[in-house]
Chains A and B, each alone.
Chain A
């Protein structure tokens, strides 16, 4: 079933699911993916007034995930080779060893011996360890506008992800604002403007070239509140996590936004081709920007993005979205089952 999110109810709109609050809640209970806000806090008082529950289409990343065994054959006789295969998918040495140990243990218990049985065990181990109850986008808190801050190192796909996300929301009739707070990279504002136009979102531009990104972020949130928008997504310049001044700038952006609104998501965009440095990136951005979720992009290539395993395990940050191409629809929600099955197929 589709995910259920809350957005503003607009006058002209015929609300699809306004009436039965109870039903909505029940649906949310069945669908564990959605974060359920405490009933007495936000949901009950707000919904009937101004919010409307919307279904946004669920998406699949099947096309992006390639099998681990496309280059190397799975050898049921030699499970140690599995370690090499996982290493080559950027899981990292320690995680790979741990996964293989777990597979061996379970295979022994279950008496799994054939290739298919062992693959099944591997898929289960991967899916279980990647599954997270907090992987849904936080679009259910009911405090509008939602504010998303998108961060990451250079060239990972932040702006592209924002374009895709904005488009998905406007298709669901959300009023989307985008803040062009990458005032550093050449023509970055033009790039995000192109995406905003494609997505039918409103862009808040810097007033002058090279303006302080924190002030652009502030003005974007201000404009979104004024215009009664459902969500504002802030694009930021790429920065390497070891550059202290640039990380400090991010901290400032975050603090400035929080003066006006709660930040509902800080998304760290991570390129699937990234190796072990991905963990260092996640660590640094989590500390400074208080990352709430990871977007794993470029899964349409040959890279597997195995480093997210360690990121979830060691830092407890869930993967929420994946990018599977350069097109506006080329993204999906992260689904541990789908991901694990895809890898093992």
Chain B
């Protein structure tokens, strides 16, 4: 996400960083690049103008001319201004003093409200709340059913007195839902509403009426991160119409650069509260403006990565694995297990994309084929248990049999065994506390040079992210997966994503 914007700024800053003093012309050239990058990222034109204006004013001022490293200072300013627009501090959901807390969702058609309602319900439930979902989208065909299915999936009750498909009054449903929640002692009420256009006066009035009926603690404006220039119009219409208190950004697992986030936040002045980034009911997290700004500047989003890893990587399994590695009994079976663990964490690619310096390797990343994992699995599945445990016994005829069984070539099998051996070796090194030497993989570019004032920047260093040896080993293994010299589209470095 935000990927190519980062690449652009990094490119621009490369020139800045190398020079000493900055002229007004230098700054203007940079701003032109920033303007282009932001426009390509779908930041609304007016927002771009304000943004570059603010950066320019500050860049021409004392803080830059007096700075030891003026280029770095400009980067800092861009970063700060981005954070400011994205909402500064991380914003928490407001809860009512006297339950139930009421959350109302609003947005355009297809923004992802219903799916988000489910995620939000699950997230609240996991925190010990007792949420109820309210089906007040009576417009879109079978929106009510969809919410019911979603509710069932996350184990949260759904209040749906009307069938929908044009039947029923959403304002009435919303009003009844509050009474229902009070009676049944639900602590949070999540009201899903129909998608509507900003210019549809009738439906906007309906949204206002729903708001009046439920008196929500939060009105969350749900917005698709693929949204283009129209983001400003839509955000204005919803803010001035129904009145919003916060923003949720959806479909961030896509590759849209997500400039709409900047547009919406800057036009409404309302904080972005959550980021939704996948189809699973867990693919949802609080929105961190500073992380997002770091991401825009391609400083990587290590904190998110670490959290994701920790959530999904089973601790007990990790410990067992560490022991195995230390005892040198790491097998192909374990190798497969690890890949499945990585799978659980989400798309390998999106994980990799969160790492610092990822922008520079994005092109290669795009070439990395996640199906490689499927192929690897297919090969391992065609092995006998003995072969999996003792890869050493894999002679020519065994390899030929495995190739046939998995629909691959002997070359594929050979290269898998090679990669496994490499990974095993590397893991041992890591487990013993050393730094693995991966061919063609220089150290990740340090972030120190960006001089981010935040102390967090310090522990974001290097590609290695975990104090847990097994975890780190798994991460190294993920990289080793790319080390297939035969894989199509691989670059000179021999790595599928050429790190």
Contacts and interface: CB of A to CB of B under 8 A. Distances in A.
Interface of A: 84, 87-90, 92-93, 153-157, 159, 163, 184-188, 190-191, 193-195, 240-245, 248, 271, 273-278, 280, 298, 300-304, 307, 326
B226 A153 contact: yes
A273 to B, nearest CB: 5
Contact of B108 (A84, A163, A273, A280): A273
6 closest cross-chain pairs (CB), A and B: A275-B228, A155-B110, A275-B42, A186-B149, A187-B145, A277-B256
Interface size class of B (residues with CB under 8 A): 35 or more
Interface in B138-176: 139-142, 145-146, 148-150, 153, 165
B227 A302 contact: no
Interface string B66-90: 0000000000000000000000000
Contact of A155 (B109, B145, B231): B109
Interface stretch (B120-128, B210-218, B247-255, B485-493): B247-255
A240 B347 CA distance: 12
- Of A153, A156, A193, A326, chain B has the most CB atoms within 10 Å of the CB of A326
Interface string B453-478: 00000000000000000000000000
B481 interface: no
A244 B369 contact: yes
Contact of A90 (B139, B142, B229): B229
Contact of B139 (A190, A248, A326): A326
Q: From DSSP, what is the main secondary structure of chain A's interface residues?
A: loop
Nearest to A274: B226
Nearest to B350: A242
Contacts of B427: none
A274 B256 CA distance: 10
Contact of B257 (A88, A243, A277): A277
Contact of B254 (A242, A273, A300): A242
Contacts of B226: 153, 271, 273-275, 277-278
Contacts of B44: 88
Given A93-B39, A93-B40, A194-B165, A244 B145 contact: no
Contact of A301 (B42, B148, B150, B230): B230
Nearest to A155: B110
Given A240-B253, A242-B254, A276 B141 contact: no
B259 interface: yes
Contacts of A275: 42, 226-229, 231, 256, 259-260
A82 to B, nearest CB: 13
Nearest to B44: A88
Given A191-B141, A275-B226, A277-B42, A241 B197 contact: no
Contact of A302 (B39, B233, B347): B233
A307 B142 CA distance: 31
A185 B146 contact: yes
Interface in B312-365: 347, 349
Contacts of B41: 276
A156 B142 contact: no
A303 B371 contact: no
B146 A186 contact: yes
A276 B40 contact: yes
Given A93-B36, A93-B39, A298 B146 contact: no
A175 B332 CA distance: 54
- Of A153, A243, A244, A277, chain B has the most CB atoms within 10 Å of the CB of A277
5 contacts: A90-B230, A190-B141, A191-B146, A244-B371, A275-B256
Nearest to B113: A155
B227 A187 contact: no
Contact of A271 (B110, B153, B255): B110
A255 to B, nearest CB: 15
A88 B112 contact: no
Contact of A274 (B115, B165, B227): B227
Given A90-B228, A248-B371, 4 more contacts: A195-B141, A280-B255, A298-B109, A326-B109
B142 A187 contact: yes
Nearest to A195: B141
B198 interface: yes
B469 to A, nearest CB: 30
Nearest to A90: B228
B371 A245 contact: yes
